[in-house]
Amino acid sequence: MKTESLLRVSVHSLYQLQKLRIQSGNRIVAAFRDKLGIAPGEAEDSEKNEKAAAVLEQLRGEYKLITDGVKRVTKHFKPDSQLLTSSGEVLLIKSYEQLIDSEKSHIRLLEIELDNYPIYDWLKGVRGVGPMMAAVMIAEIDIHKCNSISALWKYAGLDVVVSENADGDTLEEGRCRKKHHLTPKTYVNRDGAAVDTVGITFNPFLKTKMVGVLGASFIKLGGPYRDIYDGYKHRLQHHPKHQDKTKGHLHNMATRYMIKEFLADCWTTWRTIEGLPVRSRYAEEKLGLVHSKAA
């Protein structure tokens, strides 16, 4: 198996493990609903969610106090705890702790593997990009195939779809799974027959991590890409064309722009490190429009 393929398997395995850990934590909290003071069927608002997270941490703390005493957990074991009152509850927290330890071990191994990729030295220097995000990018992006910044944007689902509405007006929309955003594709089924269909043109896993996770990280932690977000959002807020858009819509537009700028920087750095040809953006190369990051 190629190194890149092995890294991709490791990344997806880690996210599956993380998902399982989160699901397990949610089930534990649900099992302690009565101790949380939440009646069956009662909605859990943000305050109660915070309380649930606090109780989960309390459960973990009490479990560690129990196990630090090197006590053997059997069906007759009676925990000396406020929340853990049976051996079954102790074993439930034990399985959760094992998932956390496994996830941490997986991340440590991933960090060791990432040192084999020169681009990681640049990525880990970007505020907001942690080992898991760097691993996602290295595993999902084939920089040799992305021969332009626009190609990388398209693969990450950040290109723009131009269409017309019923009135003949030109519309520009961010790429998504809408019906008119899909493109014709042909695949060979199990019988060996060619089948025509339509599908997306981007990597949905990569787009989710870039926009949904990395975008929020940049905004929260600050730095040069947060400055890009703030500057572009300010421009949108004062542009006549966008006065009818909601705050959420403007936020999403600014986030996409910020991530595109990051990916442009990443593409140039990565291609340079790999000794691959580096091209200017389409607007600069073909239209003579010099790009500026100034707000």
- DSSP calls for 235-248: HHHT-GGGTTS-HH
Query: Using the 8-state DSSP alphabet, how is residue 128 labeled?
Result: T
Query: Is pLDDT above 70 for 72?
Result: no
Q: Are 89 and 29 in contact (CB under 8 A)?
A: no
Q: How far apart are CA 16 and CA 211, in angstroms?
A: 19
Q: Are 210 and 218 in contact (CB under 8 A)?
A: no
Q: How far apart are CA 229 and CA 219, in angstroms?
A: 8
Q: How far apart are CA 217 and CA 285, in angstroms?
A: 31
- Average pLDDT, stretch 218-241? 95
Domain assignments of the chain as residue spans, ordered by start: 3-114, 145-159+202-295, 160-201
Mean pLDDT over the full length of the chain: 82
Beta strands in 133-229 (DSSP E): 160-164, 170-174, 183-188, 194-199
- pLDDT score for 27: 81
- DSSP calls for 154-167: HHTT-SEEEEE-TT
In tens, the pLDDT along 134-187 reads: 999 999 999 999 999 999 999 999 988 776 666 766 677 777 777 777 778 887
- pLDDT score for 219: 97
Stated pTM of the model = 0.77
Query: Is pLDDT above 70 for 277?
Result: yes
Residues paired with 167 in a beta bridge: none
Residues paired with 197 in a beta bridge: 185
- Average pLDDT, stretch 67-79? 56
